[in-house]
Structure 1
């Protein structure tokens, strides 16, 4: 007897703009703009890569090919609206969509217009779907740290509270590239503006990289951070500091960090006291969206409905949603848990957390 994970109210804190795209939308945009896609992007098959340089290179090549199909402001608005609709269908009530405006600036007149297109689209999508959409501006490790400072200043100018504003600043791309400490200045700018600091760390690299990120960037959350548990001392530090982990199980498996979903140390992290917010990362490339991550928690890690509700509440607490919104969503999770359970397709019950 279980409840549908799609109806569980939750926040979604780790979803990339291009990676949120529907496969059907990608194919339409490629045809419209006369772009030939790699065969892998034309199928619904989830990619599986090794975590080495060749594996990441293939992932980045596919991601870049998809991003090249986004050529107009209308394309950008469509992606935001569809991401909101897809999240709303899976119970996400608050979405922090991560975008690097640099990637689309050439098509819309600069990084400021690019961000403004996304922010207006977030406001429109919020009104249409009921899922509140905020934005995390993300710099890239493969660009110069001064570029990150420029983006941090842009994010700071659009910082706010609630849907249609910038609520966070991130650092994405291959963790093995760039010197983490060199991006500290950008995060100082973001922090001074009241933005959440949410760099990627602890997926391709282990706890030593997490420790470096904690020391130099002083994050509020870690994008992934799933490998923190490989060093109990580092995980204890993460837990003590209240730093949330944006764990994306399907991404971890697809990139070869873990061999399968049961191997992702989700229960170990939660049992150690970590705040875990499940995310889908790049469903365009990896396949499953947000609800599937909760389904995996149930089927692969033995979380019962109370445990799933705890994960949902953790995602809400770790978000930058306004306090009133958090209170409303926590109450909605309680209502979900109080609702009648139904017989699941698998006919099993999980283990209480």
Structure 2
């Protein structure tokens, strides 16, 4: 019989892998669809949610992207953007997060809001306001899409650099998202060079839909600070050792891995192998709107599916704080409170 365990929602932590549209509450999606008179796919309605997904082939990814696009189309005006930022911060704070890094591609909302600059500035302003009102800091990562031309990525990198900073409500990093089987990683190197020169963290996706070779290519060409996912580096001893030796942290999202068919069950996600090898791992929820799992569920999976003890869960939380771009005072306070969480009786 398992002994009593501490509540993971009270464990201080940082959330480093959350997409803007994908952070949306399902109830908020329904509200916004009604507000704008839009019809949602059956898979996003009450009886079909969360949808059954797979990205093992192009058809599966197309279905995932279609649902994502349908949700994104419901975010149309300034109040919608502000609502998503605020609710993402509220939800993460309720799960013990002290710091949230919210990833957004302002191109997705630019047409209705007067361009990429005002779209981003709305997100930044609300991130700043939420950080003042709630017990959590919110930084923003600007992410380019692999589906668009690398020149578009350079434009976003310059925009991100213009708003760069290390405080809540500022741009703290630059990413690269969407189907990693699309585009050529090296083509995005100039954009990441722009971001790096501005002092931004470089946090591209790699190593979820593609294997360890994609991780190596990303390490070679984009000089990442962290890798979004990177979980499949576990398939190569040499690549995993390179990740560990480089100090590049991995944003591991078990719920995403299973929902997209990368691994058949939560127990098959190689979380234990990554941690035991010495990789710096920060758990993330990725897109709760489509996967149905939030950050706390990732910690519960580590406990239930991989037998992580409370001390090991505290280690994952420390790793998330250490890998974060949070200000020093936020990081120091979170580390103290993690120790206090572990010191309390279960």
Residue in 1 aligned with 2:14?
11
Residue in 2 aligned with 1:179?
184
Residues 1:61 and 2:66 are matched in the alignment? yes
Residue in 2 aligned with 1:170?
175
Shift of residue 50, structure 1, vs aligned partner: 4.3
Residue in 1 aligned with 2:295?
290
Shift of residue 99, structure 1, vs aligned partner: 0.1
CA, structure 1 residues 78+179, in 2 after alignment: closer, same or farther (shift >3 Å)? same
Q: C-alpha distance in 1, partners of 2:133/2:44?
A: 29
SS at match of 2:227: strand
Unaligned runs of 5+ in 1: 342-353
SS at match of 2:56: coil
Q: C-alpha distance in 2, partners of 1:240/1:220?
A: 13
CA contact (8 A) 2:225 2:248 kept: yes
Deviations 1:65-98 (A, max 9, x none): 1000000010000000000000011001100000
Q: How does 1:201-240 map to 2 (within 5 A)?
A: 201-240=206-245
Choose which of 44, 51, 67 in structure 1 pairs with 2:56.
51
Residues 1:278 and 2:283 are matched in the alignment? yes
Residue in 1 aligned with 2:113?
108
- The aligned length equals 341
Q: C-alpha distance in 1, partners of 2:141/2:104?
A: 6
- The ranges of structure 1 where at least 4 consecutive aligned residues each deviate by more than 2 angstroms after the TM superposition are 43-48
Shift of residue 126, structure 1, vs aligned partner: 1.1
SS at match of 2:70: helix
Residue in 1 aligned with 2:32?
29
Q: C-alpha distance in 2, partners of 1:42/1:76?
A: 21
Q: How does 1:132-143 map to 2 (within 5 A)?
A: 132-143=137-148
Shift of residue 274, structure 1, vs aligned partner: 0.2
Q: How does 1:231-270 map to 2 (within 5 A)?
A: 231-270=236-275
CA RMSD of aligned residues (A): 0.7
Shift of residue 48, structure 1, vs aligned partner: 2.8
SS at match of 1:104: helix
Q: How does 1:76-91 map to 2 (within 5 A)?
A: 76-91=81-96
Shift of residue 322, structure 1, vs aligned partner: 1.4
Residue in 1 aligned with 2:341?
336
TM-score by length of 2: 0.98
Q: C-alpha distance in 1, partners of 2:52/2:36?
A: 24
Shift of residue 51, structure 1, vs aligned partner: 1.5
Choose which of 198, 201, 209 in structure 2 pairs with 1:196.
201
Q: C-alpha distance in 1, partners of 2:296/2:71?
A: 23
SS at match of 1:216: helix
Shift of residue 324, structure 1, vs aligned partner: 2.0
Q: C-alpha distance in 2, partners of 1:251/1:45?
A: 12
TM-score by length of 1: 0.96
Unaligned runs of 5+ in 2: none
